[in-house]
Chain A
Amino acid sequence: MNETQSLQKVSAQKGSSQVRAKAPVLKTIALAGNPNCGKTALFNAITGGRAKVGNYPGVTVERKEGRVRTPSGVELRIVDLPGTYSLDAKTPDEIITRDVLFGVDERVEKSPDLLIAVADATQLERNLGLVLELRKLGRPIVLALNMMDIAEQRGLDLDLEVLSQELGVPIVPTVAPKQQGVSALLLAVEKKLDDEALAIPVAIFQSTPDEIRNRFSEVDRILNLATRKKSSPTVWTDRLDRIVLHPVWGSLILFCVFGLMFQTIFNWAEIPKEWIESQVQGLGQLVDQLMAPGPLKSLLTDGVISGVGSVIVFLPQISLLFLFILFLEDCGYMPRAAFLMDKWMGKVGLHGRAFIPLLSSFACAVPGIMATRTIENRRDRLTTILVAPLMTCSARLPVYSMLIAAFIPNREVIGPFRLQGLVMFGLYLAGIFAALGVAMLLRSTVFKGPKPMLLMELPTYKWPDAKSIALGLFERARLFVARAGTVILSISILLWFLSSYPRPPQGAVEPAISYSYAGKIGQGLEPLVKPIGFNWKIAVALIPSFAAREVMVGSLATVYAVGDQKEGATELLGDRLARDWSLATALSLLVWYILACQCLSTLAVTRRETNSWRWPAVMLIYMTTLAYLGSFVTYQLAMYLGWG
């Protein structure tokens, strides 16, 4: 921001505060704090969870905004900023936080009128460093001492008056998950806004090592004055870590946590899944009985209900998967998993921290790729981005579970583990090995360079905030359903049209679909997919699934429903496929799904994160090649074994 603009801004603010009684100006309050200080839980407590989640333009750093009314009725805009340890920003998300705090670009984010500095009361020795740094911004600040209940349980006794005096900011103790201190915080914000409505913009500054030393000596001095009784160190985190980070037990737990995750996703989700399946079937039968035969009925049963219905049944599985991931993230286990895996990640040339984006990619590669912004080095970041879509994302789950249910017998193997669950686990493992293998290849060729540094906080374990998890889960489930209702619905209708027209000629012997446009396209592609064991119906269904993987289930359902008139829309897709395909074909398609890049959103987010079309192009080409080769080998091998 240049000086004229800054001056204009200051005078504009002055003006607005004078006429506020007539036309209230919406004030912007930004939440800033260290990572893991409970900032997002506090944001949810303040805004009641009604937040708009979006992205900052140009970069995909998640941006959260909410509204709140103070006790006296003033409306405020609350913005949650990515956590940072310091204003000396290094990673892309720290740069966003810094730029918003300094008010660098008003078009990206209105510079905040007031900051709520959030500090973890159990870790003031480090958290207050950022508070002192924020003070230099010249903006009004209110300090929220979060997690105050845990700090007090550990025996911390603070003189808040002294602390407030020494820091020069009002202080409000808060316990975000219990909503404690939220109204007091809003009162303090309101008061502060009335007292000093004027922010003087400062230019971006960097701290020298001496300045950092002085800042923390100041923290120590203030804490010495304000602490009546020190808190005892955390006992539970230490005890748990002695097991969780133990060389033997820790590795075993890591393996069991993720093994169990896939087992439960497969078994627990069965009941709600079957219920939804029966509803979809019931709806199909109802339409079948009520409507006279004709194109409209065919569109509804074969196109809409088959297509969208077969995708929506996977909502329980996807919700369970996200529940696991959100839970593990929120309770503090994820960085521990990264700690245990660092040695292995290092072997393939990746950062231990790359483990977290890769783990999130189990849910979806889009947030996974976004999570790579915590990786400083460009080579490491690009490697992680390029291999992230090989991790088995939730959109593959519908295809995997449908094929496994249709082709793999559900025998007991050992204890609670059944063959279907184990095959699922195996598919996930295959994705991991593919990702690590490609990463190793990239790091020893195009992205050759020194091993990246690792410096990562292992936060105190905490019981996850139910509200934050529920909100996160709801958002993911909503997106999935919205996609089924838009993308998948339109693709299902389009595919129904392509597979129904033109009508077969009089006296045709083949099924109607072979005469349609889709039939023609599929038959044209057949020579290309024949070596990997796919028939022309798979080829037709595969084309739209390049937009999004889970579309495959819907498009297969549509193609088979239209192609198989005598059975109608009531037969389950899995049963149809089990009749029509060989095991070799099913295995080949599974391998295709492990490796292929079939997701427009992933390509789009890669384009945005790398700011170039080159990397999404590289991603699409290498993954498709890999998938074709993998499927080819699998199919030929399976045929050789006599599974044709």
Chain B
Amino acid sequence: MKTTRLGQLEVGQKGRIVRVGSDADSPDWVQRLMALGFLEGSVAEVVHQAPFGGDPVAVRVRGTLLALRRQEANAVEVVQYE
């Protein structure tokens, strides 16, 4: 199963979350992501992106729309839907 980073998805693409946070990410940040709904098994979809370089992005996850920067969204690993 090929996984990709959430921050690399284009607008309109979505994937199922398989992993949140790696050893490189601070535990506080990972906890924050999870409390807002980034959890393994949930679906995340990139819905909008900001002007001038497409960063930050707006991601829909567990029924809410969350804004985060692409680089930070990379803490979330997804299996992309075709």
Contacts and interface: CB of A to CB of B under 8 A. Distances in A.
Contacts of A88: 31, 35
B59 to A, nearest CB: 10
Contacts of B30: 209
A74 interface: no
Contacts of A237: 65
B50 A457 contact: no
Contacts of A459: 65
A11 interface: no
Given A453-B72, A458-B65, A213 B34 contact: yes
B36 A241 contact: no
- The DSSP consensus for interface residues of chain B is mixed
A510 B53 CA distance: 65
A245 B50 contact: yes
A343 interface: yes
A248 interface: yes
Contact of B72 (A125, A209, A247, A455): A455
Interface string B58-73: 1000111111110010
A215 to B, nearest CB: 9
A209 B50 CA distance: 30
A43 to B, nearest CB: 22
A456 B57 CA distance: 11
Contacts of A574: none
Interface string B14-42: 00000011000001111111111101111
A212 B37 CA distance: 10
Given A212-B39, A213-B40, A248-B51, A457 B28 contact: no
Contacts of B37: 125-126, 129, 216
B48 interface: yes
B32 A455 contact: yes
Interface in A536-595: none
B17 to A, nearest CB: 11
Contacts of A413: none
Given A126-B36, A241-B48, A342-B56, A456 B64 contact: no
A446 to B, nearest CB: 23
A91 to B, nearest CB: 10
Interface in A325-361: 335, 338-340, 342-343, 352
Given A88-B35, A209-B30, A247-B50, A125 B63 contact: yes
Contacts of A456: 66-68
A241 B66 contact: no
A16 to B, nearest CB: 36
A460 B41 CA distance: 23
A251 interface: yes
A85 interface: yes
Contacts of B51: 247-248, 250-251, 340, 343
B81 interface: no
Interface in A218-263: 220, 233, 237-238, 241-242, 245, 247-248, 250-251
B33 A455 contact: yes
A207 interface: yes
B28 A90 contact: yes
A125 B47 contact: no
Contacts of A457: 36, 64-67
Interface in A427-461: 453-460
Interface of B: 20-21, 27-37, 39-42, 47-53, 55-56, 58, 62-69, 72
Given A216-B37, A453-B29, A458-B66, 6 more contacts: A85-B36, A123-B64, A125-B62, A212-B31, A335-B67, A457-B65
Interface of A: 85-86, 88, 90, 122-126, 129, 207, 209, 212-213, 216-217, 220, 233, 237-238, 241-242, 245, 247-248, 250-251, 335, 338-340, 342-343, 352, 453-460
9 contacts: A123-B62, A209-B30, A212-B34, A216-B37, A237-B65, A340-B50, A343-B50, A458-B65, A459-B65
